Amino acid sequence: MRGGATRAPSVPLPSRYLLRFSPKRSCWRFSVRTCTRSKNCCRCINNCWDWRGVSLSNVSAPWKKQRQPWRLQRQEKNWKTLPSFKCSCCKKLNTFRKSMHSCGNCSPLPMLTRYPPVSSCSSMRIRDLSGLSVCVLGYGREGQSVVRALETYALTCAVTIADRNAHIEVPQATYTLQTGDEWLRDLGSFDVIIKSPGVPPLPEIEAMRPKVTNSTQLFLDTVQEAGATVIGVTGSKGKSTTASLIAAILLADGRDAYLVGNIGVPALDFLSHAKKGTLFVMEMSSYQLMDISVSPSIAVVTSFFPEHLDYHGSLENYKEAKMHITRFQTPNDFVFYDAGSPGAKEIAQEGKGMEVACGKEDCAVRMEQMKLLGKHNLRNCALATMVCEHFQVERKTIRKVISEFECLPHRLQSLGTHHGIEWIDDAISTTPESAISALDALGANVSTMILGGQDRGLDFTILGNALRNSTVKTVILFPESGVKIRESANRAGADAIAFYEANSMNKAVELAKEHTPQGNICLLSTASPSYNMFKNFEEKGKAFAQAVLQE
């Protein structure tokens, strides 16, 4: 054999795999080396079933003819080779043999690969999509960001944009479009499917699960390889405030930091900023986490309780998605979590990262020194304090930023006093727990609450008990969950509360003006999403402000 090639090592293969050599070729190159990090690393066929690379080829043939793949079959699926995917063991790249790129730990020579790629054990950078057929599912904000990134970093990939909306406008006429009723047609023909967070896990997509990834996976793999650090922040509530606080503190300390992800600008738009020393603070929703197989090196978990169950189907599925923020961490990584949240602790314990429990006492400032309202924000500030101290930010800088930090829009945001009533916009509230936190934060001055929205099957028992023990005298209810909230309050014995129904925001505010005493607070904190009435919580909050300011 020439060129230093060796015969295939005696790696035991599972019985469900059938390997067949071409009868016309007897000299195939099968190169497998052990990664320097682990004795088992890169012998993935025994561990994670995720060998990545290119075809094994006849080394005695000229280069142009060394492209015939080693045929690999499985009982129920056909297998073939794919280029330029990372080895899942050492998170480095093994690419085409022609390019001879080495990860430094693994052999650059060809290895077996499974087709379709397994999303639960695969990694890829944005430029690894060059030469592949890619379907971008959903052409909203995230989908448009993916297309822009592919235009810049994966010029030779064939892009198809699929969206349920038949009237989307795409600037490039060169892209293939699948829209309307045919938007999920022939998904099996694509090498990679990049699903936008807003696209639900439909059966047609789940059937293609091994091929499915998302922009978060592409971003994490790309920037972490470039030497940047990603601080991923998730939680049922509190992630936007915590992520914004961390970014504000790091920027005040002069760090090269960017706030990306679920809040702000899509993460892929910042790929050009990725370099050693860059810090990306990334808010990560369950929608973004569910399809990834890599975790940020710094994870932050603010809270966990039932949320988005209509999207995920069950609490277990929701928790499973959230756990991806820590599941793929290494012992060199860190996870900071709220010590007062059992769910957050469980997520933190899922991975191998070093766990850092954060309590209210860890906050750099006292409650009375903060502009933010509520004990839940004290916990958010404690997490931000501990994360920034991890990066050696001085406490005086942390204290200054937190004490001056004001609430984000639609998160216990005061609209001022109008008609003798103070109006508080907490439109972000979509769960009973978040509504209770808002009620606790504002104290005894809350006289009126606007509650209800889309019914996602949540249990409102704890909210009924909180209403019974509060100073609330008037509750204005939106359909559909308003009926359940009223029933829960009645079962809890909240007999002193008067309930009214409203089918619009204008009607709800009109009732609030009529029944709220002068000098008291009317709180919009619906404890439910409002997709049955509004596009999103931002639209709900804007409608509330407009109705309040009407004379």
DSSP labels, 416-469: EEETTEEEEE-TT--SHHHHHHHHHHHGGGEEEEEE--S------HHHHHHHHT
Dist. CA 229–CA 238, nearest whole Å: 21
- pLDDT reported for residue 52: 34
- Please, what is the end-to-end C-alpha distance for the chain in angstroms? 89
Q: Which residue has the higher pLDDT, 456 or 417?
A: 417
Torsion, Cα 478 481 482 483, to 10 degrees, reads 140
Is residue 451 within 8 Å of 485, Cβ to Cβ?
yes
- pLDDT reported for residue 370: 94
Q: For the domain covering 413-549, report its CATH number.
A: 3.90.190.20
- pLDDT reported for residue 123: 67
When pLDDT is averaged across residues 141-163 and rounded to a whole number, the result is: 94
pTM, to two decimals: 0.72
Q: pLDDT over 90 for what percent of the chain?
A: 64
Q: Which of 123-127, 185-189, 253-257 has the lowest mean pLDDT?
A: 123-127
- Classify domain 127-213 at the CATH topology level: Rossmann fold (3.40.50)
**413-549 has the same fold as 127-213:** no
pLDDT over 50 at 488, yes or no: yes
Going from N- to C-terminal start, the domains of the chain cover: 1-115, 127-213, 216-404, 413-549
pLDDT over 50 at 382, yes or no: yes
- pLDDT reported for residue 223: 95
Is residue 336 within 8 Å of 300, Cβ to Cβ?
yes
Dist. CA 451–CA 460, nearest whole Å: 11
pLDDT in tens, 7-20: 333 334 333 333 33
- pLDDT reported for residue 170: 86
Does the domain spanning 216-404 belong to CATH 3.40.1190.10? yes
Neighbours of 240 (CB within 10 A): 24
- pLDDT reported for residue 101: 34
Dist. CA 526–CA 515, nearest whole Å: 18
Pairing mode, strands 78-79 and 72-74: antiparallel
pLDDT over 90 at 242, yes or no: yes
pLDDT over 50 at 444, yes or no: yes
pLDDT in tens, 327-347: 999 999 999 999 999 999 999
Confidence of residue 85 (pLDDT cuts 50, 70, 90): very low
